[in-house]
Amino acid sequence: MSLETVSENRCFGGTQGVYTHQSGATGTPMTFGLFLPEAAQHGRVPVLWYLSGLTCTHENAMTKAAAQGWCAEAGIAIVFPDTSPRGDDVADDDAYDLGKGAGFYVNATRDPWKPHFRMWDYVVDELPDLIGDNFAIDRDAMGITGHSMGGHGALTIAMTHPDRYASVSAFAPIANPSQSDWGRKQLSAYLGEDEDTWRAHDSSILMTERGYPGEVLIDQGSDDQFLDLLKPETLAQAMMARRQPGQLRMQPGYDHSYFFVQSFMADHVMWHAERLL
């Protein structure tokens, strides 16, 4: 796959780049952001994957999450993928929470979504291979995190592929999508009405059935305006029932915004760095 450089900027002694490529998974051009710390000039570095939430592109977290400084200090790279395929021939919906910007990190099996909405394959397989072939990252030292829809993606991907991800965390994840309006709508559209096919994309169910072999870190704002849709209590109950090592922290007064993400980004980057380095 050919890779085109959109921009590269000096950042905290390293490089913040934006790149495009033609994706075999989605059948569309895709754009991603990648921050490489100065340490990448001397050898391969661990990499943290950051999956963004509804309506976002690669750019939102890249410019708002305040992650690069902490990643530079820790000596790890961070990747900001897009949240869905893009293009004039890509199916879309008038609602903000379905279609473009709302890929939900699944492989769609239903029309009109299935030709391009294969974000699971893109994030789990294609993009790591592409970045590993073109940049100084260590594919054997990967962690994954994300916010909201991206937190959902991070948790489900890590619990499905614990051999690939040595660390996992999440900010305000959609924790029980099979029982939420942020989930039932999208999973039925992308995967169909058979709710058994949804189970692989519900972190509360996966926590009950599989768990994660390491510790899990989750931060949730107590004043999050979407708490009823996110359902953190279901994931907390699943973690307790399984006796899953980790922390689910209810942060007083914080909402769902990137101000919340910024406030705890240092904790999450250092959490991953301790497990990846």
DSSP string, 62-75: HHHS--HHHHHHHT
- Which residues are known to be catalytic? 148, 224, 256
Q: Provide the β-strand partners of residue 251.
A: 221
Contact 185, 158 (CB under 8 A): no
d(CA 135, CA 113) in angstroms, rounded, equals: 31
d(CA 244, CA 216) in angstroms, rounded, equals: 8
Contact 48, 145 (CB under 8 A): yes
Using DSSP, state whether 17 is helix, strand or coil.
strand
Residue with tokens 């989750």: 218
Contact 191, 106 (CB under 8 A): yes
Instruction: Retrieve residue 38's tokens.
Output: 């100065």
User: Any alpha helices (H) in 163-246, and if so which ranges?
Assistant: 181-191, 203-209, 227-230, 232-242
